């Protein structure tokens, strides 16, 4: 699975102004409605439900909030670069400014995990994150995310 | 009784000199003085004009010590040269080592002939003596200087300095003979002899090297004898080839090359022993050469010495480097640096003893000028290497990272060996998420307990980790176990891990991820489930592998797992695999011995700690 399968340039937004994690997730839910037609309220509560199990801040300023609910038809993603990092209760306590949100249908099965792994593998690269932090241009951000990379192994 | 007294005195003085050298080196390296220079100076101090007052003018003994030492050093140089890692630079390096030496010798010789009162052939002799770069000096200054070069430049220098000594040695021997026979001009005969010596040397070296490997691999000898067998074989090969009219020095280098690049039994103990032997040989060689020289006499030759050193450094060597390397597309900075690292060393002084031994005219001139050139080279070039590398932008980020490795030979098996590394708080591997797949983790010794890798989980500072690794990959594995100050910085929590509260109900979690948790009851907390699965040994970093993901214990509170890391992709530090140990036990019937040895080792460590 490639990131270009789950994200399009329309699904990238930057710079996004958000003052808190809740605000951010609300904005993402609104984006999900405008880009993928997902009901904003359902998306927001699904995301919050997942955060309640444990925050999805994976470290180094990256957050991967994700949700799985009935309205989603196929695995889709959104990418946001925040103007100012917000606290995300991440494992390394670093505020988050790069956010890749994922939505998966109830029946996605292994697809969901694969997509999550793909996102985390891409954003694990410090070089990729540095590039992402160098621009607010959505098309450039999209290009960096979907750029062909050789081995992604650490 | 005086005989015994003399022997004891000689032993006392010799050992004392080596010890003085070792202790002075502790001080000297702080000031960046090349270590070999220290031994040379200690030898001079002990000599007839220093406080030591030892009168030593025995060129015969010097030649004997020198030949012996040089055989060992050159053999070691071959042993350490991994042809596979040098494929791209082999051709240019070899041309620089052969043709380059000839060019250097000729240019330096011409200069000496035109200025000093020498015949052309005597000029060539002087040129040949100082033509070769010294492997010991180059390796030593490059490696212990903590200087890491771009691989092409570094490899070229290493191979060149390792291979050009034998060339220079037989060049000097041949030209000495010519000078003795009263010829004054180089003749075509010279080239013929050159070819014969080289050919015989190469053939003898390759053949006997392969034979020695065969004997090592097929004949069982008592364990401690392997390295001794190798040293004796090396000296035998050198002497036999010289007696048969070939170049013994080339032969012994080739033999080392064969042995170092073939799977060989007991290789770790051989290289370990050879490392010490090479050190000893270099120390003894420099001490003896320091003793041999008479400093006041040296001063008489200061002017011609400085002239030759100057021509060699600024004309002869650059000309040779440019002519040999330009066709291979080396950049200007590369060539400048390679020119500057034309370090001369003990080999040149040793070679200078040959004309004296043979009774060539002007012999003191050769010896003293060579000595002067070596001093100049070690002092000026040696101490400016780092600056030169930095100026020419060839130095990579300095890596003086410490490495300590235990190697364990696997009996009856030559392709693989077991390597053990202590894990410090700054060991690079800690900052990485996995071990390369070709390195098979075997055991971890933690706090005196021997664990297989499944029990141990991720490596921690204070551990000893043992891997089964193909011999040719060993240097690559080494690089992961060096100490680096960056590691601590990178040692934050693993990236890419989703965190899950231990209290989360399995039903909630399974809804999100489709994890196959067997028939676990839905209302059980995931932390308690994980604790059950892991059994009694719940500890931080304990890992449970699932289909497509894994759980890692991240926080314990009141004996319960409070937080779990969910890792999604195949990033792992040491991948647990219980079958591995079993397989190795089948493959290696002597693993039991290894285990007992490890247990002893860890017991010893525990004792050291307490």
How many CB atoms lie under 10 A from the CB of residue B114?
11
Closest CA to B74 of B254, B265, B336: B254
Span B513-534, pLDDT tens digits: 777 777 778 788 888 888 887 7
Helices (H), B453-590: 453-456, 474-480, 486-490, 506-513, 526-534, 578-587
Helix (H/G/I), strand (E/B), else coil: A57: strand
Taking an 8 Å cut-off on Cβ atoms, the answer to whether B497 and A91 are in contact is: yes
Closest CA to B415 of B593, B590, B262: B262
Helix (H/G/I), strand (E/B), else coil: B380: helix
Looking at the DSSP bridge assignments, the partners of residue B497 are B567
Q: Which chain B residues are closer than 8 Å to A154 by Cβ?
A: 432-434, 571
Average pLDDT score over residue span B347-363: 82
Q: Where are the domains of chain A?
A: 3-146
Interface of B to A at Cβ within 8 Å reads: 432-434, 492-501, 504, 508-509, 511-514, 548-549, 554, 563-565, 568-569, 571
Which of B493, B508, B563 comes nearest A59 by C-beta? B493
Average pLDDT score over residue span B348-362: 82
Taking an 8 Å cut-off on Cβ atoms, the answer to whether B496 and A121 are in contact is: yes
Rounded to whole angstroms, the Cα distance separating B446 from B460 reads: 8
pLDDT band at B434 (very low <50, low <70, confident <90, very high): low
Pick the CATH number of A3-146 from 3.30.70.3290, 3.40.50.300, 3.40.930.10, 3.40.1030.10: 3.40.930.10
Is residue B122 within 8 A of residue B362, CB to CB? The reply is yes
* Residue appearing with tokens 């020289």: B293
Residue A4 dihedral angles phi and psi, to the nearest 5°: -65, -20
**Beta strand spans in A17-117 (E):** 57-59, 62-63, 66-68, 76-86, 96-104
Task: Write out the two tokens for B446.
Answer: 């933690």
* pLDDT above 50: residue B215: yes
* pLDDT above 50: residue B307: yes
Nearest CA of chain A to the CA of B479: how many Å? Answer: 15
Is residue A28 within 8 A of residue A39, CB to CB? The reply is no
Cα end-to-end distance, chain B, whole Å: 50
Residue B548 dihedral angles phi and psi, to the nearest 5°: 75, 0
* pLDDT above 50: residue B582: no
Average pLDDT score over residue span A65-86: 90
Most B CBs within 10 A among A116, A130, A151, A152, hence the mutation to make, goes to A116
Is residue B74 within 8 A of residue B256, CB to CB? The reply is yes
Rounded to whole angstroms, the Cα distance separating B148 from B142 reads: 7
* pLDDT above 70: residue B271: yes
* Residue appearing with tokens 């450094």: B313
Q: Which chain A residues are closer than 8 Å to B548 by Cβ?
A: 110, 113-114, 117
Rounded to whole angstroms, the Cα distance separating B181 from B179 reads: 6
β-strands B440-446, B449-452 pairing:
antiparallel
Rounded to whole angstroms, the Cα distance separating B475 from B170 reads: 33
* pLDDT above 50: residue B324: yes
* Residue appearing with tokens 């999604």: B568
Is residue B573 within 8 A of residue B433, CB to CB? The reply is yes
Instruction: Give the angle subtended at the CA of B10 by the CAs of B4 and B13, to the nearest 5°.
Output: 140
- Average pLDDT of every residue of chain B: 77
Average pLDDT score over residue span B16-28: 76
Q: In what helix (H) or strand (E) does residue B492 lie, and over which residues does it extend?
A: none
Is the bond preceding A15 in cis, omega lying within 30 degrees of 0?
yes
| DSSP-derived secondary structure letter, B431 | G
How many CB atoms lie under 10 A from the CB of residue B537?
10
pLDDT band at B440 (very low <50, low <70, confident <90, very high): confident
pLDDT band at A120 (very low <50, low <70, confident <90, very high): confident
Rounded to whole angstroms, the Cα distance separating B520 from B241 reads: 75
Rounded to whole angstroms, the Cα distance separating B493 from B36 reads: 46
pLDDT for res A32: 92
pLDDT for res A41: 92
pLDDT for res B432: 61
To 10 degrees, what angle do helices B332-340 and B151-180 make?
A: 50
Closest CA to B530 of B512, B492, B504, B494: B504
Residue A154, chain B, CB below 8 Å: the answer is: yes
Give the least confident one: A15-19, A35-39, A136-140, B80-84.
Answer: B80-84
Cβ-based burial of B496 (10 A; exposed 0-12, middle 13-18, buried ≥19): buried
Closest CA to B322 of B310, B339, B309: B339
Rounded to whole angstroms, the Cα distance separating B505 from B510 reads: 9
Q: Give the gyration radius of chain A's Cα atoms.
A: 14
Residue B301 dihedral angles phi and psi, to the nearest 5°: -100, 15
* pLDDT above 90: residue B145: no
pLDDT for res B29: 59
Residue B434: closest C-alpha in chain A: A154
Taking an 8 Å cut-off on Cβ atoms, the answer to whether A121 and B569 are in contact is: yes
The segment with the largest mean pLDDT, out of A23-37, B136-150, B574-588, is: A23-37
Helices (H), B424-485: 453-456, 474-480
Is residue B333 within 8 A of residue B394, CB to CB? The reply is yes
- Average pLDDT of every residue of chain A: 85
Nearest CA of chain A to the CA of B478: how many Å? Answer: 18
pLDDT band at B578 (very low <50, low <70, confident <90, very high): very low
| DSSP-derived secondary structure letter, B228 | H
Nearest CA of chain A to the CA of B495: how many Å? Answer: 5
Better-scored residue on pLDDT, B258 or B186: B258
**B399-404 long-range contacts, CB within 8 A, separation 24+:** B399/B146, B399/B148, B399/B482, B399/B484, B400/B146, B401/B428, B401/B482, B401/B483, B401/B484, B402/B482, B402/B483, B403/B478, B403/B481, B403/B482, B403/B483
Residue A110: closest C-alpha in chain B: B514
Rounded to whole angstroms, the Cα distance separating B70 from B278 reads: 9
Full-model pTM:
0.54
Average pLDDT score over residue span B65-79: 85
The active-site residue out of A21, A66, A81, A118 is: A66
Residue A112, chain B, CB below 8 Å: the answer is: yes
* pLDDT above 70: residue B450: yes
Cα end-to-end distance, chain A, whole Å: 18
Average pLDDT score over residue span B43-72: 82
pLDDT for res B100: 92
Task: Write out the two tokens for B299.
Answer: 């001063």
Taking an 8 Å cut-off on Cβ atoms, the answer to whether B492 and A124 are in contact is: no
Task: Write out the two tokens for B151.
Answer: 């691989």
Residue A62, chain B, CB below 8 Å: the answer is: yes
Taking an 8 Å cut-off on Cβ atoms, the answer to whether B434 and A121 are in contact is: no
pLDDT band at A23 (very low <50, low <70, confident <90, very high): very high
* pLDDT above 50: residue A150: no
Residue A105, chain B, CB below 8 Å: the answer is: no
pLDDT for res B321: 93
* pLDDT above 60: residue B73: yes
Residue A123, chain B, CB below 8 Å: the answer is: yes
Helix (H/G/I), strand (E/B), else coil: A73: coil
Average pLDDT score over residue span B240-248: 86
pLDDT for res A126: 78
pLDDT band at B181 (very low <50, low <70, confident <90, very high): confident
pLDDT for res A102: 92
Residue A103: closest C-alpha in chain B: B512
- How distant, in Å, are the alpha carbons of A37, B62, B290 from that of B53? 96, 18, 12
Average pLDDT score over residue span B425-443: 72
Active site residue A66: yes
Strand order in the sheet with B497-501: B497-501, B560-567, B549-557, B543-546
Better-scored residue on pLDDT, A90 or B488: A90
| DSSP-derived secondary structure letter, B381 | I
* pLDDT above 50: residue B303: yes
As for the ipTM of the complex, it is 0.83
Nearest CA of chain A to the CA of B230: how many Å? Answer: 41
Helix (H/G/I), strand (E/B), else coil: B32: coil
Which of B513, B554, B569 comes nearest A112 by C-beta? B513
Task: Write out the two tokens for B378.
Answer: 């070690």
Looking at the DSSP bridge assignments, the partners of residue B468 are B418, B440
* pLDDT above 80: residue B543: no
- How distant, in Å, are the alpha carbons of B181, B366, B532 from that of B244? 21, 28, 75
Is residue B268 within 8 A of residue B222, CB to CB? The reply is no
Is residue B389 within 8 A of residue B207, CB to CB? The reply is no
* pLDDT above 50: residue A153: no
Average pLDDT score over residue span B594-600: 72
Rounded to whole angstroms, the Cα distance separating B319 from B104 reads: 8
């Amino acid at each position: 699975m490639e990131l270009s399968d789950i994200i399009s340039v329309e699904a990238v937004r930057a710079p996004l102004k958000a003052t808190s994690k809740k605000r951010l997730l609300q904005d993402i839910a609104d984006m999900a409605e405008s880009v993928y037609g997902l009901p904003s309220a359902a998306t927001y509560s699904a995301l919050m439900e997942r955060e309640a199990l444990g925050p999805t801040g994976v470290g180094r300023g990256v957050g991967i909030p994700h949700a799985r609910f009935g309205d989603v038809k196929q695995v889709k993603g959104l990418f946001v670069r925040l103007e100012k990092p917000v606290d995300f209760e991440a494992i390394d306590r670093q505020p988050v400014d790069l956010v890749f949100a994922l939505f998966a249908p109830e029946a996605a099965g292994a697809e969901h995990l694969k997509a999550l792994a793909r996102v985390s593998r891409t954003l694990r690269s410090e070089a990729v994150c540095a590039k992402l932090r160098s621009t607010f241009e959505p098309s450039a951000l999209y290009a960096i995310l979907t750029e062909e990379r050789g081995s992604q192994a650490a | 009784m005086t005989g015994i007294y003399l022997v004891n005195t000689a032993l006392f003085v010799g050992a004392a000199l080596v010890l003085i050298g070792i202790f002075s080196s502790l001080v000297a390296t702080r000031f960046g003085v090349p270590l070999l220079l220290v031994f040379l100076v200690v030898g001079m101090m002990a000599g007839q004009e220093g406080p030591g007052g030892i009168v030593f003018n025995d060129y015969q003994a010097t030649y004997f010590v020198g030949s012996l030492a040089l055989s060992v050093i050159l053999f070691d140089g071959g042993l350490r040269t991994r042809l596979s890692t040098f494929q791209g630079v082999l051709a240019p390096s070899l041309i620089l080592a052969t043709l380059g030496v000839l060019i250097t010798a000729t240019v330096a010789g011409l200069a000496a002939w035109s200025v000093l009162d020498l015949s052309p052939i005597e000029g060539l002799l002087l040129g040949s003596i100082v033509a070769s770069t010294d492997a010991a000096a180059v390796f030593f200054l490059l490696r212990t200087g903590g200087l890491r070069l771009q691989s092409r430049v570094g490899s070229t220098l290493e191979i060149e300095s390792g291979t050009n000594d034998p060339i220079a040695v037989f060049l000097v021997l041949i030209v000495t003979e010519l000078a003795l026979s009263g010829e004054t001009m180089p003749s075509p005969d010279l080239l013929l002899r050159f070819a014969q010596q080289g050919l015989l040397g190469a053939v003898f070296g390759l053949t006997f090297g392969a034979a020695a490997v065969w004997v090592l691999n097929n004949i069982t000898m008592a364990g401690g004898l392997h390295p001794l067998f190798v040293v004796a074989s090396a000296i035998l090969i050198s002497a036999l080839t010289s007696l048969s009219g070939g170049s013994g020095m080339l032969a012994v280098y080739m033999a080392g090359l064969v042995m170092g690049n073939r799977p060989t039994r007991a290789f770790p103990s051989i290289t370990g022993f050879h490392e010490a032997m090479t050190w000893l040989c270099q120390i003894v060689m420099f001490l003896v050469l320091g003793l041999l020289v008479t400093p006041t006499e040296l001063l008489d030759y200061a002017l011609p010495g400085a002239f030759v050193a100057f021509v060699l450094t600024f004309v002869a060597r650059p000309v040779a480097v440019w002519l040999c390397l330009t066709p291979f597309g080396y950049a200007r900075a590369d060539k400048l640096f390679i020119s500057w690292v034309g370090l001369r060393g003990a080999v040149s002084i040793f070679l200078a003893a040959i004309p004296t031994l043979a009774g060539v005219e002007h012999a003191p001139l050769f010896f003293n000028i060579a000595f002067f050139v070596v001093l100049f080279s070690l002092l000026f070039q040696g101490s400016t290497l780092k600056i030169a590398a930095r100026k020419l932008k060839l130095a990579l980020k300095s890596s003086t990272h410490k490495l300590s490795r235990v190697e364990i030979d696997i009996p009856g098996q030559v392709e693989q060996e077991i390597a053990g590394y202590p894990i410090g708080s700054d060991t690079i591997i800690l900052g990485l998420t996995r071990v390369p797949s070709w390195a098979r983790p075997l055991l971890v010794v933690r706090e005196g307990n021997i664990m297989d890798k499944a029990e141990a989980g991720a490596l921690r500072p204070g551990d000893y980790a043992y891997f089964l690794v193909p011999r040719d990959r060993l240097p690559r594995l080494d690089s992961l176990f060096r100490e680096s100050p960056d590691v601590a910085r990178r040692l934050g929590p693993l990236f890419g891990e989703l965190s899950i509260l231990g209290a989360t109900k399995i039903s909630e979690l399974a809804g999100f991820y489709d994890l196959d948790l067997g028939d676990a009851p839905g209302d059980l907390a995931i932390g308690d489930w994980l604790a059950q699965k892991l059994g009694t040994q719940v500890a931080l970093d304990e890992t449970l592998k699932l289909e497509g993901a894994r759980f890692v214990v991240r926080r314990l509170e009141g004996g319960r797992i409070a937080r779990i890391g969910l890792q999604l992709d195949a990033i792992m530090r040491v991948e647990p695999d219980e079958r591995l140990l079993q397989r190795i036990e089948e493959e290696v019937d002597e693993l039991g011995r290894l285990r007992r040895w490890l247990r002893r080792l860890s017991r010893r460590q525990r004792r050291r700690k307490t």
